[in-house]
Amino acid sequence: MAQNENLAQLSKAGVAVWLDDLSRDRIRSGNLQSLVDEHSVVGVTTNPSIFAAAISGSKSYDDQLHAMAVRKVSVEEALRTITAADVRDACDLLAPVAARTGRDGRVSLEVAPGLAHDTDATAAEAAHLWWLVNRPNLFIKIPATVAGLPAITTTIAKGISVNVTLIFSPERYRAVMDAYLSGLEQRLADDPDASFEGIESVASFFVSRVDTEIDKRLDAVGADASLKGKAGIANAQLAYQAYEEVFSSDRWKALEAKGAQPQRPLWASTGVKNPEYSDTMYISELIAPDTVNTMPEKTLMAYADHGQPGTAVQEAYADAEQVMKSVAEAGVDLDDVFRVLEEEGVQKFVDSWDELTTSVEEQLEDKA
């Protein structure tokens, strides 16, 4: 089938198009397959909010919930069984993409967000989820909290592919890249003959949430309105500059020579929150080689309909630096912005996880 031209051009520019959504209905209806066939989709990301919406709004889970209810399984086991089943089915659907590309065709499943500040528990759950889904094209999502960083290293060293999530600042992103390289180095230290085959990683750098928080603060200090809606993209562009630096270093080249793959930047939170902004700006302005852009379906379809490439990321570094400097000079404490966004990001997923747990618990009681 013919691919949408706008999205096909995005793919040719080096951007892997992923869908930021998953549900059993989307798989069973053929919708996900059609997005692969016609809209260049080569990967899927999930999070607790996505699963909460999928499970609470569908009858597709009824039979499975009934079977678990009569077996009297715990709500935690039921939750993991349901989400793992959807992710496994999506991995199977995307297996041909994985075989064709060698890098994409990946589906992400997140460790329980309540573990975000517990290194050992995060690493243990990552290993359990990897075993539970049991598909080579899986990504385990681990948050880029201070406690998450060593868990990333441990998980990569075990040969488990990782999608690092909730990255908001270039500084923390550098720590994430270091954690990835350290994991690869640890793997070799544990076994000099170890293979890197199949080990992949992406670093999910959030975009629109940065604008939402910074715009609010610019308004509060009465700053020039022309600064609004620019920091999210500029911040991400500077992250890509950091990526280019790290993945051209001698440290990286030594690992690459042994078959390691670079950890690609993934642009997350790309749905535009402010209706005054272009609905495709977080796609158009973040086009760069070896990146991933995970999009809500609404944003994906908007780009398919009228998306146009903006300034290439590699040509925007000087302007991006100036934007972030101007925002800081206007009175916005960027370090505080990134701290608040990380705390809120973890809390939002904890809240969604709690909502999901309650929903599954109620449905287990109904189906018993």
Catalytic residues: 141
List, in sequence order, every beta strand (DSSP E) within the chain.
15-19, 41-44, 106-110, 138-143, 162-167, 201-206, 264-268, 291-295
CA distances for 147 relative to 119, 121, 239, 302, angstroms = 5, 10, 21, 37
Please state, in angstroms and rounded to a whole number, the distance separating the CA atoms of residues 267 and 292.
Answer: 6
| Helices and strands: H and E segment counts in the chain | 16, 8
Tokens of 2: 């013919």
Angle of the 334-367 helix axis to the 48-56 helix axis, nearest 10 = 30
Nearest to 272 by CA among 319, 307, 227: 307
SS3 252: helix
Please say whether the beta carbons of 210 and 235 come within 8 A: yes
Please say whether the beta carbons of 309 and 328 come within 8 A: no
Please state, in angstroms and rounded to a whole number, the distance separating the CA atoms of residues 363 and 330.
Answer: 50
Amino acid at 269: S
Residue 305: alpha-carbon gap to chain centroid: 24
